[in-house]
Amino acid sequence: MNMQPTSVIAPPAPKGLGDMQLPIVMMRDILLKTLFRKNLEMATEISEAICLPLSVTQELVDLTRDQKLLEATGTLNANSGNEMGYQLTDAGKARALDALSQSEYFGAMPVPLEVYREQVERQSIRNIQVTRTQLTNAMGHLVLPDSLLDHLGPAVSAGRSILMYGPPGNGKSSISNGIRDALGDTVYVPRAIEYSGQVITVYDPIVHTAIEQEADNPTQLRRRKRFDSRYVQCERPTVVTGGELSLSMLDLVYNPTARTYQAPLQLKSTGGIFIVDDLGRQAEPPQALINRWIVPLEEGKDILGLQSGEKFEVPFDTLVIFSTNFHPNEIFDQAALRRIFFKIKIDGPNQENFLKIFALVARKKGIPLDETALVHLLKVKYPTIDNTYANYQPVFLIDQMISICEFEGIPYQMSPELIDRAWANMFVKDETIVK
């Protein structure tokens, strides 16, 4: 996807340890654990590993040296701009091992939760204004009625919750992905955040798509970062869940071995989209899932809990899209429906749009259209299902005909006979099976 220039204000890099708003002991211990685990020596290497500017890293190194936990090696490294090397003292190694027994976390310094809140506001999903042109371009691969974009546009621009419902196979998932593509800009995702001395990892390469940065010049001692490198510049994230979604997946994940936490899915999706697909297919009833989202959807904050039982608030800045094949009145009470800001019905195409989709798919897959076959499809086959069209059907029927042609060893083509054979695989007749 071609990214547009971001208008999001980048998080400023800290200028000194006083800007970090983290406990000094915590920063010192992360430095010691990182040196111990990664066997680093040069300040520039350490700076890159803990994701702090060189001047701030040097300040932390000097403080640790004053505590006799770190010492200079006494040699200059010509390959690193004649930098002084550093190593752990015996006391430093002992402190590193003790710190690792309390938490295995090392590497990038975490961002305090309060500081992260400020960045969330700067890059809020609700700051985005999506135009009709952007949305139309993002949905360009789909054949949709104009009236649908009339409803989707305001919903996306508002950055509020959306419920899409309607018969299966009509592109609710594709529309959700199109909404994601329409957003277009980038956000800054913290590698980890800190609350009450606990580290919660947030950046996840499975969820987040990082934007490549220009390589720094390794020979330049005072490299300048354009933003706080404790963050990763990413496309606005999209988390997609389906029938596997459970309430436990919305809680902090604690790793008892590493003694660290991993952010839940909705926190990872901050600044982006959280898609709950196939609502109604989860183990928990839809009402229970919506009840879990009521406070976040209404108040823009979520409540998470530590192993100690302590509860705390985190920002909830996510466009939540619920997608279901059930009618909303079947799975929600009215109180729950009030909490979902936009309700949009996704119907199947009319005959005109069905033919447009069929022609587009046929051209893309290299199978020539045949008027006799199309007439047979529309006049003979569809009346048997009350002329109920769905967006998935053109792809299904054409793929079936292609498979038949390949099996029979004939050129790609369509005919009434091939339509009949393809149609037979699209529906299963109701019948009694004799056991």
Q: How many CB atoms lie within 10 A of CB 153?
A: 17
Residues of the chain with CATH 1.10.8: 351-426
Helix (H) or strand (E) holding 273: strand 273-276
pLDDT at 145: 78
DSSP per residue over 343-410, as a string?
Answer: EEE-PPP-HHHHHHHHHHHHHHHT----HHHHHHIIIIIGGGGTT---THHHHHHHHHHHHHHHHHT-
Query: CA end-to-end span of the chain, whole Å?
Result: 53
> What is the phi/psi pair of residue 97, to 5°?
-65, -40
Residues of the chain with CATH 3.40.50.300: 114-345
- The fold adopted by the segment(s) 23-107 is Arc Repressor Mutant, subunit A (1.10.10)
pLDDT at 1: 38
pLDDT at 3: 39
pLDDT at 155: 86
- Using alpha carbons, select from 348, 346, 347 the residue that is nearest to residue 390: 348
Instruction: Report the C-alpha gap between 270 and 374 in whole angstroms.
Output: 47
pLDDT tens-digit profile, the chain (435 residues): 343 444 688 999 999 999 999 999 999 999 999 999 999 989 999 999 999 999 999 999 999 999 999 999 866 655 555 678 899 999 999 999 999 999 999 999 999 999 999 999 999 998 888 888 888 888 877 788 778 888 888 888 888 889 989 887 777 778 877 887 888 788 999 999 999 999 999 999 999 999 876 544 444 444 455 799 999 999 999 898 888 999 999 999 999 988 999 999 999 999 999 988 888 888 888 888 888 888 898 889 999 999 999 999 999 999 998 988 888 888 888 888 888 889 988 888 899 999 999 999 999 999 999 999 999 999 999 999 999 999 899 999 999 999 999 999 999 999 999 999 999 998 776 555 565
Does the domain made of 114-345 have the CATH classification 3.40.50.300?
Answer: yes
Does the domain made of 351-426 have the CATH classification 1.10.8?
Answer: yes
> What is the phi/psi pair of residue 23, to 5°?
-60, 135
Residue 407, C-beta contacts closer than 8 angstroms, at least 6 positions apart: none
